[in-house]
Amino acid sequence: MPGRTSRIQSEIKQKRPFGSKEQEAAIALLRTADVVRRRIAEVIQPHGVTPQQYNVLRILAGAGAAGMPTLEIAARMIERAPGITRLLDRLEAKRMIRRERCPTDRREVTCRISEPGLQLLKRMEETVNRADHAAIKNLATRELEQLIALLDGVRREVGRE
């Protein structure tokens, strides 16, 4: 319907229509990601870690006792962190992780989650799960599956460029 103001236009107080539906969808996606990210950050930060640090702890918890090389952690992060070394430095200073140089290749560093890191994740689990659920509770299972598939398609297409 021409002249109709969309929800995203209202939220960002944009008076003029978007140049295209693709532009409107991209802006709505970015705005949604920001809203969800900020909400998750609100429940994570009282535990003394950032969302990126929490992500690293989850990755390392999944890696188990074998740990994971620094560059592999960086590749698996939800939000790519350009300063992965500084991020790991901060977690190590908090005694949440341990790092060891590979004896055969001194350039490779293996990271492992520590017991305090595992305990922190355990304390945070229920709160973070509730926040995840609250962010999308208005969607039915079928809608969630569709959303996941649509987002997969967007990432796949953007990744080709």
Q: What is the pLDDT along the chain (161 residues), one digit of tens a residue?
A: 456 778 888 888 888 888 888 998 998 999 999 999 999 999 999 999 999 999 999 999 999 999 999 989 999 999 887 789 999 999 999 999 999 987 777 778 899 999 999 999 999 999 999 999 999 999 999 999 999 999 999 988 887 64
Residue 49: how many CA atoms within 13 Å on its side-chain side? Answer: 29
Residue 1's pLDDT is 46
| CATH of the domain spanning 48-160, picked from 3.20.20.370, 3.90.1150.10, 2.60.120.10, 1.10.10.10 | 1.10.10.10
Alpha helices in the chain (DSSP H): 7-11, 21-44, 51-63, 70-76, 84-93, 115-136, 141-160
Residue type, 72: E
Write the single-letter amino acid at 158: V
Give the start-to-end residue ranges of the domains of the chain. Answer: 48-160
Asked whether 113 and 60 are in contact (CB, 8 A), the reply is: yes
Helix 51-63 and helix 84-93, axial crossing angle in degrees, nearest 10: 80
Q: In the prediction, which pLDDT does 131 show?
A: 93
CB 37 within 8 Å of CB 135: no
Whole-number pLDDT of residue 103: 77
